[in-house]
A = this chain, B = another copy of it.
């Protein structure tokens, strides 16, 4: 995936305006709904000693970890995703992990930045949710104003030497007709998780209770709806908390990088 920043000047200007506000500390909330039409990205930062292996892990697991961009060690700009991005300050909130444990949730990385850090920008379901809404599909957690429910599954990721663990999925309940349409729509967006990995019976992928998500908030499911499950960008956070590298950084859930790339440009056909 090599996204293009050939985006409308209006979209790019709005993305830049949001990043500047965040960088100046004027906004520290979730990014859902900001700079509509622009791709938002999950962030995973690792020291160079882990970076090559995480890159291989992403290559082997494109559905939970679709890579939009990878930086050179120590670099905090991401020209592939936008003009003048500063990874250290352009996300509203970060999570710093030490030995796999959450250590702090800063709004800037200036104090913890190291010259050997490599940043991985990973596609986010916000992009395909925009396409679902545009098709008149009810996306339950968006209507409720809550976080999407996410679950650890028994679906194994494709391991590397040191990285392994189960896939995390997000769930959206839908009527069958909408589920079929959602499969068509999200199949066009492999850069942001693509088609679902499962639908129907949650027990078949190791989920015991839909009303008790491992991350995010539960949503109601109506009798005429089925749960539809997509691979989730929280998978690498779950892997990291299993593998426990000495030091790593992620975005705080829902607090994403806003890019200049348009969601529309990610559609594969």
Contacts and interface: CB of A to CB of B under 8 A. Distances in A.
Interface of A: 176-177, 179-180, 183-184, 187, 195-201, 204, 224, 226, 269
Q: Which 10 A-B pairs have the closest CB atoms?
A: A183-B183, A176-B198, A200-B226, A176-B199, A184-B187, A176-B200, A180-B195, A204-B224, A180-B196, A180-B183
B204 A180 contact: no
Contacts of A184: 183-184, 187, 195
A183 B195 CA distance: 10
A188 to B, nearest CB: 10
Nearest to A204: B224
A239 to B, nearest CB: 22
A180 B186 CA distance: 11
Contacts of A196: 180
A209 to B, nearest CB: 19
A180 B204 CA distance: 15
A177 B200 contact: no
A177 B201 contact: no
Contact of A269 (B180, B201, B269): B269
Copies of this chain, count: 2
- The interface centre, meaning the residue of A180, A196, A224 with most chain B CB atoms within 10 A of its CB, is A180
A180 B176 CA distance: 12
6 contacts: A176-B201, A180-B183, A180-B199, A199-B199, A200-B200, A200-B226
Nearest to A182: B183
A177 B205 CA distance: 11
Nearest to A183: B183
A123 to B, nearest CB: 18
Contacts of A200: 176, 200, 226
Contacts of A226: 199-201
A269 to B, nearest CB: 6
A269 B267 CA distance: 14
A197 B177 contact: yes
A179 B198 CA distance: 9
A154 to B, nearest CB: 13
A261 to B, nearest CB: 23
Contacts of A197: 177, 180
Nearest to A224: B204
A132 to B, nearest CB: 15
Nearest to A269: B269
Contacts of A198: 176-177, 180
Nearest to A226: B200
